[in-house]
Amino acid sequence: MTENEIVELLAAFMVLLGGIVAIISAYGIITLPDVYTRSHAGTKSSTLAVLLALTGVFIYFWSAENYISIRLVLGIVFLYLTAPVAGHLICRAAYHSEETKDPEQ
């Protein structure tokens, strides 16, 4: 195996791993009981899934095509900076709303 083939396999593995993490994240969003745990599954693991996939695509284009995509780098940085803030704001809004209160109390 050449060096390019190994790097392409690494990139494909990262994209595949990102897809698996995204499926697990979707399962968590569907099955978890309240808005806080759903938000955790939706923001943390799906952020990891997208970052893995974008990093795999970036590595592929960098090694196979000898092309550095600024759009991919900006997408990775933007997602890395905004996803935790969005998750925090969703949980904060849920905390301040009356919809998340336990109906048994």
User: Is 75 within a domain?
Assistant: yes
pLDDT of residue 3: 87
Average pLDDT over residues 35-40: 88
pLDDT of residue 56: 94
User: Is 84 within a domain?
Assistant: yes
User: Is 25 within a domain?
Assistant: yes
Question: Which structural domain, as residue segments, surrounds residue 63?
Answer: 3-96
pLDDT of residue 88: 92
Is the confidence at residue 70, as pLDDT, over 80? yes
User: Is 37 within a domain?
Assistant: yes
Q: Which residue has the tokens 């935790």?
A: 84
Q: How many angstroms separate the CA atoms of 61 and 38, rounded?
A: 34
Q: 22: exposed, middle or buried (C-beta count within 10 Å: 0-12, 13-18, 19+)?
A: middle
User: Is 32 within a domain?
Assistant: yes
Under the banding of pLDDT at 50, 70 and 90, the label for residue 19 is very high
Average pLDDT over residues 40-69: 91
User: Is 65 within a domain?
Assistant: yes
Number of domains in the chain: 1
User: Is 20 strand, coil or helix?
Assistant: helix
Is the confidence at residue 28, as pLDDT, over 60? yes
